[in-house]
């Protein structure tokens, strides 16, 4: 064992919320056998990544070491843990392991995004079942979260035991799925834990987390007292919430109708895998249209304001023949993820215009978080008593705050962000190496590098508009006519109140008429000058410098 | 007076937070004499208005009735009440009235954005001073808000008294400027108030608002206990906050340095107009660099994460020779406006990476709002006892909730959104007319219409990328060579792993070689076909349809 080491390296999720991807390795430096924990996505936005459908970790480092990867383990079925799997699997080609429901959801995503052979996806049982992956022995330990069957991982290595919490909360009554079991975790901790790699997302939430079960009464009262139709939106994967809402619907004599593909698919999968056994029979949108509104609960997708989801559709023109009106109630049984405030507010205002009463999480009556809050993190630290604490899953400020929280109670550790390879073998965790840990974008149907410049060019066009300049030069290097301009995304008139196109063409024409032969002969110089004139003239006329495409055609 | 009427019409601010612009009129229908209350801006974002510098109300309706405008009244000096004045004044050319400090700030903005002659800007005294504007008698009544010298307007008309609250809070101890005076407002209400047009922004805040003065102890403790340099950011116009911070700095032996042009300018103007009399002498950034960090408080601009402001600069490379390091403290003495969460979080994470401790408003220790909360609105309703309540300044959901709040206590009123002209003369407010109430964009140096399509084209380029296609056709309508393509904001390779440009040019070339004469002769048809091929080929290759500019050059 001399010279062998245990390493941990996040490739995503440590420096952001979302896009989780963690690597563990054991062996001689540079020859470690590897396991990958989670391969998730995060979502783009108009602000920073216009046109990008999904953002995933750059797996180039892993792909180059493909022969050393023993397995890919998935802790739970949320997009930010499983969503990238189908997109990058063919670069890694390692076997995937997950619990039953997680594997079923993963299978749906794998089929949508790329293809992974059936044989690559393996269903594993829960702890105390343990699987061997090279030098690693790994158990999937049930832990409560906002989706059933979440697992924390117990990773035994020759250098000691690592607990990888996965996303979790401390919930003794999670409604659906397994409760957090302190005795079980104490048992796991007993032999000693070298490192706890721990969820950090809610470290700034000061109060102890509340159980999913605490919502039942509030939701029941809401559905009982509401006069018209009730629409509730939450993440489709929050099956406990769907169950609680369905129970409340039954108690108040409301039929349940599921709207949105993700919602239907998630419930179907949960019933098929035996996770939901008490879910009431749902009705179709067509049937829903036939029964009195006060006897209806719609559960719909789109809690984050997604434009094409059921919630947004219902707030505007309606969805599948159903529409809302004065006296109806719309419940956001969800938290708005930072960055989504505007689309969510847009829906709320559209509902307000229809006279629909909107309820949201303000006050916490209708939503609880799926992550461990500050005091719950301390509880977990106390149970696991790790030699090292390594905060994971959070922006830098979350990781740092989590580390400070641990340090206040005497824990040692390190803040490891994406691409930092940490050696966990010694007396203190230390940085072994910095690895390039970038982002890959799914752009339409193509994967591109986050630093390729494609998105940068798009943002520039969005901010500055675009001008096309064409010029024809004949066989004798004489301009044939004058340059032409076409605008896109620019005002048609400038400060002088003249047509911007005409002003640009006049300036460009003047330049061309005076240009020396050697300029007209030199494609690069000519292009540079034409761009300069467009940008300079535009700056004077409209106060901004557009992006410019120049095409000089030379007659042969 | 028979047939004459009193009208109210928002042109901005009723359907959004920001961009306030309200019109009152009195006279025969279609001949009303008009006053305009506030002409503010709101800010664009990458999400919906990329490249747009400011958004302002479309004043076309007012401009067409310019001869009927008696005056433009400004309630206070916030951007969303005064920011559009300089940009549109030449279309209206009515005299402007504001109190002293407000006028001084307005003057700075007028000089920056357009030009307004000195003679057009008039300083008015506070209530009980009253000015006559045609059929209106108007008084500027001091009311507390987060900027000094805010005024509610008392507007007397032949149809009765209107109270226009402006932005306000109920603050008995505002630190700088005038306290809310319940006795004064009761006095104003005594003759009877026909309509209260009232701020709605904080209607969803359930607890009574807190006074600015309640922050003094918390801020003093923070500055006393902090070990290193302290940086505080807040809106520059919140002079009370700056005063409280300065007092705390003095008490803890810290010198104050102001960073950011808006911060310095606001303090200078407040001192010049006699509003700040106790403000300590500030030091320059150069001097700040010379004294121990624990003896420093920097007050900086950029609380909303603005990229070029002092806060963002300090969180990255530093600002004016000053930089932050481990042990320093950064305070957001502010609330993050919805939509700005991401840029603010970016700053927080950059500070975290430097080891700087970040404090924000979570918990409410270091910030209070400048607007009346729900119970405060009820208090104001109870004081004014209006015949009608007209909620203003808010998104639709705020206006509706405010109306419901009033109705619960027996008030009648109407939800009036931008462009709804309300007749306030009768026994109930009623909609008299719907007026086109659009938005105007300041784009670089040019004003463009919100519906001009310029921004739509930019967003399309941002989402889909751009392709330029050029083709030369000779005198006999024969193609001269093949079409050329240039990409911008698009991946260079598609699914087939071939160069996207080459694939596109091959497809276009094939089409051109087979095209009939009558297609090659028909510019429109040719362009349409070339665009179709680019979009279709791109959809197959990269899964998205780019924006396309086609330039066909015909040799004469």
- What six digits make up the tokens of B346? 């970016």
> Does a structural domain hold residue A455?
no
Q: Are residues B243 and B341 in the same domain?
A: yes
CA distance A323 to chain B (A): 19
DSSP B178: P
Q: What CATH number is attached to the domain comprising A484?
A: 3.10.20
pLDDT at site B82 = 97
CA distance B342 to chain A (A): 6
pLDDT at site B556 = 75
- What six digits make up the tokens of B161? 């008294």
Short-list A531, A543, A472, CA closest to A504: A531
Is some CB atom of chain A closer than 8 A to the CB atom of B92? Answer: no
Q: Are residues B195 and B219 in the same domain?
A: no
Please check the confidence at residue B2 and state whether its pLDDT lies above 80. no
ipTM of the complex: 0.93
Q: Is the dihedral of CA B356, A169, A87, A233 positive or negative?
A: negative
Short-list B448, B400, B509, CA closest to A494: B448
Q: Could A400 and B352 be called an inter-chain contact, meaning their C-beta atoms sit closer than 8 Å?
A: yes
Is omega for the bond preceding B128 within 30 degrees of 0, making it cis?
A: yes
Select from A46, A351, A352 the Cβ nearest to the Cβ of B462.
Answer: A46
Q: A443-476: per-residue pLDDT in tens?
A: 999 999 999 999 999 999 999 999 999 999 999 9
- What is the average per-residue pLDDT within B441-459? 95
Q: Are residues A239 and A318 in the same domain?
A: yes
The confidence band for A47, taking pLDDT boundaries of 50, 70 and 90, is confident
CA distance A277 to chain B (A): 39
For residues B430 and A547, give the distance between their C-alpha atoms in angstroms, rounded to a whole number: 50
Q: Could A454 and B490 be called an inter-chain contact, meaning their C-beta atoms sit closer than 8 Å?
A: yes
> Does a structural domain hold residue B454?
no
> Does a structural domain hold residue B456?
no
Pairing state between β B121-123 and B96-98: parallel
pLDDT at site A205 = 95
Q: Are residues A342 and A398 in the same domain?
A: no
3-class DSSP assignment, residue B18: coil
For residues B443 and A464, give the distance between their C-alpha atoms in angstroms, rounded to a whole number: 9
pTM: 0.95
pLDDT at site A548 = 98
Q: Is the dihedral of CA B390, B391, B395, B400 positive or negative?
A: negative
The confidence band for B362, taking pLDDT boundaries of 50, 70 and 90, is confident
Q: Could A462 and B464 be called an inter-chain contact, meaning their C-beta atoms sit closer than 8 Å?
A: no
Q: Are residues B74 and B196 in the same domain?
A: yes
For residues B35 and B468, give the distance between their C-alpha atoms in angstroms, rounded to a whole number: 50
For residues B8 and A507, give the distance between their C-alpha atoms in angstroms, rounded to a whole number: 49
CA distance B175 to chain A (A): 30
pLDDT at site B228 = 96
Q: B383-435: per-residue pLDDT in tens?
A: 999 999 999 999 999 999 999 999 999 999 999 999 999 999 999 999 999 99
Which residue among A449, A481, A501 closes a domain?
A449
Q: Could B446 and A495 be called an inter-chain contact, meaning their C-beta atoms sit closer than 8 Å?
A: yes
Q: Are residues B104 and B224 in the same domain?
A: no
Q: Are residues A320 and A345 in the same domain?
A: yes
DSSP B336: P
C-beta separation of B54 from A543 below 8 A: no
For residues B145 and B162, give the distance between their C-alpha atoms in angstroms, rounded to a whole number: 20
The gap between the terminal CA atoms of chain A, to the nearest Å, is 71
Q: B98-140: per-residue pLDDT in tens?
A: 999 999 999 998 888 877 899 999 999 999 999 999 999 999 9
Q: Are residues B334 and B394 in the same domain?
A: no
**Percentage of residues in chain B having pLDDT higher than 70:** 100
- What is the average per-residue pLDDT within B330-355? 95
C-beta separation of B324 from B348 below 8 A: no
3-class DSSP assignment, residue A1: coil
Q: What are the helix and strand counts (H, E) for chain B? A: 17, 26
Q: A250-293: per-residue pLDDT in tens?
A: 999 999 999 999 999 999 999 999 999 999 999 999 999 999 99
A510-518 — which CB contacts under 8 Å span 24+ positions?
A512/A471, A512/A479, A512/A482, A512/A483, A513/A479, A513/A482, A515/A479, A517/A477
- What is the average per-residue pLDDT within A238-253? 97
> Does a structural domain hold residue B376?
yes
For residues B12 and B60, give the distance between their C-alpha atoms in angstroms, rounded to a whole number: 13
- What six digits make up the tokens of A533? 């004139």
Which residues in chain A have their CB less than 8 angstroms from residue B454's CB? 465, 489-491
Alpha helices in B203-329 (DSSP H): 216-225, 239-251, 261-272, 285-288, 310-315
| Total CB pairs under 8 A between chain A and B | 208
The confidence band for B555, taking pLDDT boundaries of 50, 70 and 90, is confident
pLDDT at site B338 = 86
Q: A195-211: per-residue pLDDT in tens?
A: 999 999 999 999 999 99
For residues A273 and A267, give the distance between their C-alpha atoms in angstroms, rounded to a whole number: 10
Kindly state the helix (H) or strand (E) to which residue A139 belongs, with its residue range.
Answer: strand A136-142
- What is the average per-residue pLDDT within B363-370? 93
pLDDT at site B496 = 85
For residues A257 and A495, give the distance between their C-alpha atoms in angstroms, rounded to a whole number: 56
For residues A192 and A190, give the distance between their C-alpha atoms in angstroms, rounded to a whole number: 5
CA distance B154 to chain A (A): 30
C-beta separation of B321 from B296 below 8 A: no
For residues A233 and A304, give the distance between their C-alpha atoms in angstroms, rounded to a whole number: 9
Mean pLDDT is lowest, of A338-342, A368-372, A509-513, B155-159, for: A338-342
Which residues in chain B have their CB less than 8 angstroms from residue A394's CB? none
3-class DSSP assignment, residue A330: strand
Which residue among A418, A449, A480 closes a domain?
A449
C-beta separation of B542 from B494 below 8 A: yes
What stretches of B301-419 adopt beta strand conformation (E)?
329-332, 357-359, 386-392, 412-413
Phi/psi at A438 (5° precision)? -95, -165
Please check the confidence at residue B455 and state whether its pLDDT lies above 70. yes
Number of domains making up chain B: 3
Which residues in chain A have their CB less than 8 angstroms from residue B45's CB? 47, 342
For residues A451 and A240, give the distance between their C-alpha atoms in angstroms, rounded to a whole number: 40
Q: Could B549 and A348 be called an inter-chain contact, meaning their C-beta atoms sit closer than 8 Å?
A: no
The confidence band for B535, taking pLDDT boundaries of 50, 70 and 90, is very high
Q: Could B549 and A488 be called an inter-chain contact, meaning their C-beta atoms sit closer than 8 Å?
A: yes
Q: Could B47 and A46 be called an inter-chain contact, meaning their C-beta atoms sit closer than 8 Å?
A: yes
Short-list A150, A319, A488, CA closest to B548: A488
C-beta separation of B543 from A446 below 8 A: yes
For residues A50 and A63, give the distance between their C-alpha atoms in angstroms, rounded to a whole number: 27
Short-list A28, A25, A23, CA closest to A7: A25
Please check the confidence at residue A123 and state whether its pLDDT lies above 90. yes
Q: Are residues B254 and B182 in the same domain?
A: no
Binning chain B into helix, strand and coil, the percentages to the nearest 5 are: 35, 25, 40
Please check the confidence at residue A1 and state whether its pLDDT lies above 60. no
- What is the average per-residue pLDDT within A211-215? 97
Q: Work out the mean pLDDT of chain B and round it to a whole number.
A: 96
For residues B387 and B375, give the distance between their C-alpha atoms in angstroms, rounded to a whole number: 20
> Does a structural domain hold residue B317?
yes
- Which of residues 348 through 407 in chain A touch B, CB cutoff 8 A? 348-349, 351-353, 355, 358, 362-363, 395-397, 399-400
Pairing state between β B136-142 and A439-443: unpaired
Q: What CATH number is attached to the domain comprising A251?
A: 3.40.50.10710
The confidence band for A29, taking pLDDT boundaries of 50, 70 and 90, is very high
Please check the confidence at residue A556 and state whether its pLDDT lies above 80. no
Q: Are residues B143 and B56 in the same domain?
A: yes
Residues 6+ apart with CB under 8 A from A87: A41, A54, A56, A113, A114, A440, A442, A447
C-beta separation of B201 from B374 below 8 A: no
The confidence band for A362, taking pLDDT boundaries of 50, 70 and 90, is confident
Q: Write the burial class of residue B402 (CB in 10 Å: 0-12 exposed, 13-18 middle, 19+ buried).
A: buried
Short-list A61, A64, A57, A60, CA closest to A81: A57
Phi/psi at B429 (5° precision)? -65, 140
Q: What CATH number is attached to the domain comprising B40?
A: 3.60.15.10
Which residue among A399, A417, A449 closes a domain?
A449
Q: Are residues A350 and A496 in the same domain?
A: no
Q: Are residues A171 and A294 in the same domain?
A: no
DSSP code per residue over A147-191: STT-EEEEEEETTEEEEE--S----S--SSSPPP-HHHHHHHHTT
DSSP code per residue over B411-442: -EE----TTEEEE-SSSS-EEEEE----EEEE
> Does a structural domain hold residue B460?
no
C-beta separation of B379 from B170 below 8 A: yes
Sheet with A357-359: list strands edge to edge. A255-259, A296-300, A230-233, A329-332, A357-359
**Percentage of residues in chain A having pLDDT higher than 70:** 100
- Domain range for residue A501? 465-554
Residues 6+ apart with CB under 8 A from A67: none
- What six digits make up the tokens of A534? 């467009």
> Does a structural domain hold residue A459?
no
Is some CB atom of chain B closer than 8 A to the CB atom of A434? Answer: no
Please check the confidence at residue A496 and state whether its pLDDT lies above 90. no
Kindly state the helix (H) or strand (E) to which residue B533 belongs, with its residue range.
Answer: helix B523-542
> Does a structural domain hold residue B458?
no
């Amino acid at each position: 064992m001399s010279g062998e080491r245990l390493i941990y390296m996040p490739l995503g999720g440590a420096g952001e919320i979302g896009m989780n991807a963690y690597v563990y390795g054991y062996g001689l430096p540079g020859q470690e056998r590897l396991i990958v924990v989670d391969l998730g996505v995060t979502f783009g936005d108009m602000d920073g990544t216009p046109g990008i459908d999904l953002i995933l970790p750059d797996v180039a480092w892993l792909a180059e070491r493909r022969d050393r990867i023993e397995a890919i383990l998935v802790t739970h079925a949320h997009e930010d843990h499983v969503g990238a799997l189908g997109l990058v699997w063919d670069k890694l080609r390692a076997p995937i392991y997950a619990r039953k429901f997680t594997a079923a959801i993963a299978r749906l995503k794998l089929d949508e995004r790329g293809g992974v052979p059936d044989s690559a996806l393996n269903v594993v049982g829960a702890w105390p079942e343990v699987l061997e992956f090279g030098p690693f022995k790994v158990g999937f330990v049930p832990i409560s979260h906002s989706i059933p069957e979440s697992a924390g991982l117990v990773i035994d290595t020759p250098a000691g035991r690592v607990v990888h919490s996965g996303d979790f909360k401390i919930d003794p009554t999670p409604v659906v799925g397994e409760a957090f079991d302190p005795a079980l975790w104490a048992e796991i901790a007993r032999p000693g834990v070298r490192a706890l790699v721990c969820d950090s997302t809610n470290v700034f939430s000061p109060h102890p987390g509340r159980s999913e079960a605490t919502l039942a009464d509030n939701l029941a009262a809401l559905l009982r007292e509401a006069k018209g139709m009730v629409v509730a939106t939450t993440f489709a994967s929050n099956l406990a919430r769907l169950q609680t809402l369905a129970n409340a619907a039954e108690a108040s004599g409301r039929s349940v109708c599921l709207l949105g593909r993700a919602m239907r698919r998630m419930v179907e999968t949960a019933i098929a895998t035996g996770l939901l056994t008490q879910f009431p029979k749902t009705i179709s949108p067509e049937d829903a249209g036939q029964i009195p509104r006060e006897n209806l609960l719609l559960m719909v997708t789109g809690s984050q304001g997604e434009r094409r989801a059921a919630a947004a559709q219902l707030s505007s023109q309606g969805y599948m023949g159903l529409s809302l009106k004065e006296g109806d109630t719309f419940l956001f049984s969800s938290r708005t993820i930072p960055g989504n405030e505007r689309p969510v507010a847009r829906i709320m205002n559209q509902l307000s215009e229809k006279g629909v009463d909107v309820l949201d999480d303000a006050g916490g009556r209708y939503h609880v978080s799926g992550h461990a809050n500050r005091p719950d993190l301390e509880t977990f630290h106390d149970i696991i008593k790790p030699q090292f604490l390594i905060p994971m899953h959070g922006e830098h400020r979350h990781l740092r705050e989590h580390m400070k929280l641990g340090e206040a109670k005497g824990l040692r550790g390190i803040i490891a962000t994406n691409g930092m390879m940490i050696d966990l073998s010694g007396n203190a965790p230390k940085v072994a190496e910095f690895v390039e840990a970038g982002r890959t974008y799914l752009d339409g149907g193509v994967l591109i590098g986050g630093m390729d410049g494609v998105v940068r060019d798009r943002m520039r066009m969005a901010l500055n508009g675009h001008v096309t300049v064409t010029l024809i030069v004949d066989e004798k290097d004489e301009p044939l006519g004058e340059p032409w301009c076409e605008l896109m995304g620019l005002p048609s008139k400038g400060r002088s109140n003249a047509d911007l196109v005409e002003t640009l063409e006049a300036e460009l024409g003047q330049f061309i008429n005076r240009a020396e032969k050697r300029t007209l002969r030199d494609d690069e110089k000519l292009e540079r000058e034409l761009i300069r004139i467009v940008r300079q003239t535009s700056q004077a006329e409209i106060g901004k410098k557009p992006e410019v495409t120049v095409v000089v055609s030379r007659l042969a």
